[in-house]
Chains A and B, each alone.
Chain A
Amino acid sequence: MHSAHARRSLRLINDSGAISAASAWLRTLGESFELGSELVFRLDLCASELVANIVSYAFEDEAPHTVALDLILEPQSVKLVVADDGREFDPLALPEPVAPATLEEASVGGLGVHLVRQFADQVSYERVSGRNQVTLAWPRPGRPGLAGRAPIRRGVERRRKPAAGFPLACGDGTRIDADRRSGGDRRALGFISRIELFRDVPYALIEGLLAHCPQRDYPDEYVVLAPGVPNEYVALVLDGRLRVHLDAPGTAGQPGDYTPIVAGECAGELSIIDGEPASAWVIAEPGTRLLLIDGHTFFSELLPLPRVARNLLGMMAARMRRTNHQVVERIRNSMLLERLQSEMRTAQEIQTGMLPMRSPMFPEHMEIECEANIQQAREVGGDLFDAFFIDEKRLFVAIGDVCGKGMPAALLMMRTLTTIRSEAGRKQGQKGHLERVMERINRKLALNNERMLFASLFIGLLDTGNGTFRYASAGHPRPALLRRGADCSLLKVPGNPIAGIDPAISYTLGETRLGRGDLLLLYTDGVTEAENVRAEQFGDARLLATLNGASKGSVSDAIAAVRDAMRLFCGNHPQADDVTLLALRYLGHG
């Protein structure tokens, strides 16, 4: 029988009879599957040793436990899985026994595990949900196309080559005269099974080799490699973690801008391969322990092993993908930022373009003087103003301030402005027109207001025929009114809440009559709340006093006077808010 795929299982109780039972079972299977005497011997030996260990050491109680053996036949391989639910034991973590010098010293402790590691082609260990699981594997002999390859012998024959003897020449020119490793160092070789580079590599091939490579602990944040520095070792991370930084760590880049190299992975192989100095910063994190393989050992002992070469290629491919991903991400982010900045500039242009930025605003209307001016604190702000004639003699004015900054505020500002324009033009002249404009704006803002953005708004309608000015305010600062020959004061405004909170508010209008030469100044709170270095605000009083002093000039003079006074007051203190001013003087006809 020579099935390509087969799986056979045996469950045993952990008594001494289990060892012979396992061995008899494997010999029978070996014969029926034509595995050949040598492989059967190896299976038999490894199973005997592993089961003997389990029976003797795995359990502390007297209760019966199950020892599970599974023989898995695949076209190219034969696997034996031995599992138990006893105390955790990784046979790969056991040190290689030191050969006794004399018969008297000889003991056979640890010999079983040593034999398993030498007679199995591959050994791996896993602790899975409270179970020890040792998997042994061999190439399957006698399969068509594999005849004469006899790969089984390789491990043992290489093993027969004497391990490098002392003194050993190190990569840095120094010599090691004796093996000074502690038991802990030796035990650390158990990590071989967890090192990516040695995945599926026969243990016997590398154990002796790696035993002679130094292991080193690193102080926190130690710079293991730096760009331009020649590198002589491939560093395998046994414990802890390395970070690879492209930029000098701590000087540039984001904190997350590095590639981690965790236990089981390796660093420095690129510069060993191409002989160039290191190309990045490699930093050791606390508790990092490295196994250093010098370039010579790496090239002449490890790389010739086909599985090692294949693993290395796999690791490098994975890392390249990861690095590519990082680079692409970086480029994408910088492109995104650039696009965002360009979009912000466009938004600002659109926003500014929406405001009536001409001066004077209505040169053809001799009966009024109107001028406006906005100074934006940021790229996109929340202030808005507008002024337009809704018919031949009635001028609509509006000023507002959307709370918040940035793109959401800018969008709301544009929406508010659009609403003002469309509503102000509708059914003008009818009774309740201005109230309706305010109510509609409020309702539009209050509905669909997930971001809870609000706007203060002041709108007014001036009848240029007789100077009647009717107005409504939604929580906006009261305009300043400078009557000819009188002191400047704040306009009396019926108090209404800010727009965008409650969709069902009714707005009350205010009304006044402007005399010839009277000046009305609409402004946003960026004016009165402008601060100086002592955190004092410009305030209403200063504004009114400034306007008193500017009563003789044009409306542009009045705006300039306010701006000058603010500049004088604030000095170089940067302003957080937009500053908008709209000045309107009624001149009347004739």
Chain B
Amino acid sequence: MKMDSQPLDGGITLIRLDGRLDIEGAQTVDQPFTYATSTHPARIAVDLSDVSFVASIGIRTLLSGARGQASRGGKLVLFGAQPMVRRVLHTAGVDQLLVLCDDLDAARKALTD
């Protein structure tokens, strides 16, 4: 599991996750992801297009980041999830708590609304 982040124009931070959000993946990215999403208020778009797998432990990671950002007064949206990943997020009810966008443009729009 790899993670990198880069600032985009409009005060948006793009976080890219790459790999499997399983137990190992979650353990690998938990710290950097929490740091990137919860230390200061921001508008964060998380790119899931290279995430091939997600389990409940990975959902925990995503939700804790979103919760941290919400408590800072910022916002976190997800975009680009592959169909099966999207289905897991949907089944887990994540789509009712977070905005799930199709692509970066939609994510950008959701963050600036």
List A residues at the B interface (Cβ < 8 Å): 16, 19-20, 23, 37-38, 41-42, 44-45, 48-49, 52, 97, 99-100, 102-104, 106, 108, 111-112, 114-115, 118-119, 156, 159-160
Tell whether A115 pairs with B93 under 8 Å between CB atoms, given A20-B23, A48-B23, A106-B63.
no
- Please name all residues of chain B whose beta carbon is closer than 8 Å to the beta carbon of A42 when the two chains form the complex: 84
Docked complex: B43-80 residues within 8 A CB-CB of A: 53, 55-57, 59-60, 63, 66-67, 70-71
- Please name all residues of chain A whose beta carbon is closer than 8 Å to the beta carbon of B92 when the two chains form the complex: 108, 111, 114-115
Q: What is the bound-complex CA distance between A37 and B55, given in angstroms?
A: 16
Tell whether A106 pairs with B23 under 8 Å between CB atoms, given A99-B93, A115-B56.
no
Nearest CB of chain B from residue A16's CB, rounded to whole Å = 7
A103 touches B55 (CB 8 A): no
Q: Which 6 A-B pairs have the closest CB atoms?
A: A99-B93, A111-B56, A112-B56, A41-B84, A48-B55, A108-B60
- Please name all residues of chain B whose beta carbon is closer than 8 Å to the beta carbon of A111 when the two chains form the complex: 56, 59, 92
The chain B residue with its CB closest to the CB of A19 is B23
Q: What is the bound-complex CA distance between A38 and B93, given in angstroms?
A: 20
Tell whether A49 pairs with B56 under 8 Å between CB atoms, given A103-B97, A106-B63.
yes
| Interface class of chain B by DSSP | helix
Q: What is the bound-complex CA distance between A37 and B83, given in angstroms?
A: 11
- Please name all residues of chain A whose beta carbon is closer than 8 Å to the beta carbon of B66 when the two chains form the complex: 103
A52 touches B23 (CB 8 A): yes
Nearest CB of chain A from residue B88's CB, rounded to whole Å = 7
Chain B interface size, under 10 / 10 to 19 / 20 to 34 / 35 or more: 20 to 34
The chain A residue with its CB closest to the CB of B60 is A108
> Quick one: which of A100, A104, A115, A119 contacts B70, CB cutoff 8 A?
A104
- Please name all residues of chain B whose beta carbon is closer than 8 Å to the beta carbon of A115 when the two chains form the complex: 55-56, 88, 91-92
B67 touches A20 (CB 8 A): no
Q: What is the bound-complex CA distance between A19 and B98, given in angstroms?
A: 27
Nearest CB of chain B from residue A98's CB, rounded to whole Å = 9
Q: What is the bound-complex CA distance between A115 and B60, given in angstroms?
A: 13
Nearest CB of chain A from residue B112's CB, rounded to whole Å = 20
Q: What is the bound-complex CA distance between A522 and B96, given in angstroms?
A: 105
A45 touches B55 (CB 8 A): yes
> Quick one: which of B53, B59, B91, B98 contacts A41, CB cutoff 8 A?
B53
Question: Which of A20, A42, A159 is packed against the most chain B CB atoms within 10 Å?
Answer: A20
Q: Mark B78-103, 1 if CB is under 8 A from A, else 0.
A: 00000010011011110011100000
Q: Is B4 part of the contact surface with A, judged by Cβ < 8 Å?
A: no
A108 touches B59 (CB 8 A): yes
A100 touches B97 (CB 8 A): yes
Nearest CB of chain B from residue A331's CB, rounded to whole Å = 56
Nearest CB of chain B from residue A155's CB, rounded to whole Å = 11
B53 touches A45 (CB 8 A): yes
B22 touches A48 (CB 8 A): yes
| Interface class of chain A by DSSP | helix
Nearest CB of chain B from residue A204's CB, rounded to whole Å = 9
Question: Which of B23, B70, B88 is packed against the most chain A CB atoms within 10 Å?
Answer: B23
Q: What is the bound-complex CA distance between A19 and B53, given in angstroms?
A: 14
The chain A residue with its CB closest to the CB of B59 is A108
B91 touches A118 (CB 8 A): yes
- Please name all residues of chain B whose beta carbon is closer than 8 Å to the beta carbon of A99 when the two chains form the complex: 93, 96
Q: What is the bound-complex CA distance between A108 and B67, given in angstroms?
A: 13
> Quick one: which of B24, B60, B84, B97 contacts A102, CB cutoff 8 A?
B97
Nearest CB of chain B from residue A138's CB, rounded to whole Å = 14
Tell whether A100 pairs with B93 under 8 Å between CB atoms, given A106-B63, A108-B59.
yes
The chain B residue with its CB closest to the CB of A16 is B23
- Please name all residues of chain A whose beta carbon is closer than 8 Å to the beta carbon of B90 when the two chains form the complex: 160
- Please name all residues of chain A whose beta carbon is closer than 8 Å to the beta carbon of B57 when the two chains form the complex: 52, 108
Q: What is the bound-complex CA distance between A23 and B58, given in angstroms?
A: 14
- Please name all residues of chain B whose beta carbon is closer than 8 Å to the beta carbon of A41 when the two chains form the complex: 53, 84
A52 touches B55 (CB 8 A): yes
The chain B residue with its CB closest to the CB of A23 is B22
Q: Mark B2-26, 1 if CB is under 8 A from A, else 0.
A: 0000000000000000000011100
- Please name all residues of chain A whose beta carbon is closer than 8 Å to the beta carbon of B87 when the two chains form the complex: 156
Q: What is the bound-complex CA distance between A102 and B23, given in angstroms?
A: 25
B55 touches A112 (CB 8 A): yes
Q: What is the bound-complex CA distance between A102 and B67, given in angstroms?
A: 10
Q: What is the bound-complex CA distance between A111 and B94, given in angstroms?
A: 11
- Please name all residues of chain A whose beta carbon is closer than 8 Å to the beta carbon of B24 when the two chains form the complex: 20
Question: Which of A16, A48, A106 is packed against the most chain B CB atoms within 10 Å?
Answer: A106
Inter-chain pairs besides A104-B71, A106-B67, A112-B56, 14 sampled, C-beta below 8 Å: A20-B23, A45-B53, A45-B55, A48-B23, A97-B93, A100-B96, A102-B97, A103-B97, A108-B59, A108-B92, A111-B59, A115-B88, A156-B91, A159-B91
- Please name all residues of chain A whose beta carbon is closer than 8 Å to the beta carbon of B93 when the two chains form the complex: 97, 99-100
- Please name all residues of chain B whose beta carbon is closer than 8 Å to the beta carbon of A23 when the two chains form the complex: 22
Nearest CB of chain B from residue A18's CB, rounded to whole Å = 10
The chain B residue with its CB closest to the CB of A38 is B84
> Quick one: which of A20, A38, A106 contacts B97, CB cutoff 8 A?
A106
- Please name all residues of chain B whose beta carbon is closer than 8 Å to the beta carbon of A37 when the two chains form the complex: 84
- Please name all residues of chain A whose beta carbon is closer than 8 Å to the beta carbon of B88 when the two chains form the complex: 45, 115, 119
Nearest CB of chain A from residue B105's CB, rounded to whole Å = 24
Tell whether A108 pairs with B56 under 8 Å between CB atoms, given A48-B22, A52-B23.
yes
Nearest CB of chain A from residue B104's CB, rounded to whole Å = 22
B63 touches A103 (CB 8 A): yes
